Amino acid sequence: MKRTNLIIRQFLIAICTAGLFFGTKAGYAQTSAKLTIINQDYEQAKLESKKQHKLLLIDFYTTWCVPCRNLDETIFKNANLSEELAKNFVVLKYDAEKDNHHLSLKYHIRMYPSTVILNENQLVVNRMYGTGGSDQDMTKNYMAVVNTAIENHTRKNYIKGVSSNNWLNYPKFYEEYVYHINKKNIDQNFNQYWQNNPDHFDEITFTMLCYFDGGSDEMANFFSQNKKKYEDLYGELDVRWVSSMMLSKKVYAAFDAKDRKLFNEAKNMAKLQMAAKDTVSYFLAIEQQMLIKEQRWTDAANVVEQRMQLANYDPASTNDFCWSIYQECNDQKVLQKCSSWMKKLAKKSPDYNTLDTYARLLYKTGNKKLAFATIQKAINLGKANKEDTRSSEEWLKTKGI
């Protein structure tokens, strides 16, 4: 059974799952009579971009990435879309784990698929990490990205801080980390690099800030104080990523230490990095998580009730919280309250996870007969939807059913 973490869902981004991508050998391939697709050869792709006076769309993939294959089938192998792309783009299909042109290093590629779009001078006019959303939204969102790239190119807009040179003098520890050679002492090495490099706005430093999710408190403070300059140089997308990861790191450090001082420092960082309208829901979400860490169950439940009143509240968060209560809390008042929430949620959205959580809360509140009937219903529904129900079945066995 999959339980989605409350705070992770606040931050990001679709991560690829494992699978198989059927690539082709380096050289030319065609998905239509018009769209030029080049495999792995960046130098040849640059020449074609200039020759055809078109933008260069780099599709970063890996051989084990299912969403990469989905993107390939949905976009590049779609006859209508490939013909549409052919009007303005040459495509480079680039296996990010065979980084023979340092492109993964340069564009800090760590999410697959990723897309980077360059003009004829190899300057970035747009980029996207991931597929741009669920399968039904993929086409719309991806084409929005390429259309924005065309618009930016027409207006001569590009990411000012990213050069056309893909052979920059990256520090050895960064290359070894990206290429899975050595992942030891990264924080120490990055901190030393920061201390020894007086220009904290240079391209290499920002690339590593993106790849390593920020850095030390000193880096985070400098970044927050100079966020506008970073945005001017590197655009809102990458700056937003670094900001969210720095903030996430700070928040989780406070959670792990159960330290209210660190927690308040994280909130102050959020005030610097987030729009005021976004802080209300975010502060309630992290306060709820901090109270769970502190095992202040009544206070945490009160925060959940406040969150339920917000327009952007996700009901799945109720399930997450109630699952934590089932696992860790023995306060009958809180258990009864959560059971009543899950009863309503199970009636409105009777999926496997919801029914499973509701059943276990029923058991802890003493309603065993209904608990067993409910979890059996959850198992039947889960199996019908080809979900993994083994944990529920094991739970039934341990309770003597």
Tell whether 165 is covered by a domain: no
In the chain, the amino acid numbered 22 is F
So what's the pLDDT on residue 400?
A: 65
How far apart are alpha carbons 17 and 98 in whole angstroms?
19
Structure tokens at 123: 């300057």
Contacts of 134 (CB under 8 A, 6+ apart): none
In the chain, the amino acid numbered 214 is G
Provide the residue range defining the domain that includes 359.
Answer: 295-398
Identify the domain boundary among 234, 269, 304.
269
Number of neighbouring beta carbons within 10 Å of residue 330:
9
Tell whether 290 is covered by a domain: no
Segment 157-180, tens digit of pLDDT: 999 999 999 999 999 999 999 999
So what's the pLDDT on residue 31?
A: 42
Which residue has 């809180």 as its token pair?
334
Tell whether 192 is covered by a domain: yes
Contacts of 100 (CB under 8 A, 6+ apart): 40
Segment 183-218, tens digit of pLDDT: 999 999 999 999 999 999 999 999 999 999 888 889
Torsions phi, psi for 28 (to 5 deg): -90, 150
Torsions phi, psi for 284 (to 5 deg): -65, -40
Mean pLDDT by 10 residues, the chain (401 residues): 43 34 38 81 97 97 94 93 95 96 96 96 96 78 95 97 96 95 94 95 96 87 91 95 90 95 91 85 94 96 96 91 96 97 94 96 96 96 95 90 56
Angle at 49 between CA 44 and CA 55, to 5 degrees: 135
So what's the pLDDT on residue 30?
A: 45
How far apart are alpha carbons 321 and 381 in whole angstroms?
22
Structure tokens at 187: 């924080």
Number of compact structural domains in the chain: 3
What residues pair up with 28 in beta bridges, in sequence order? 38
Residues 177 and 118 in one domain: no
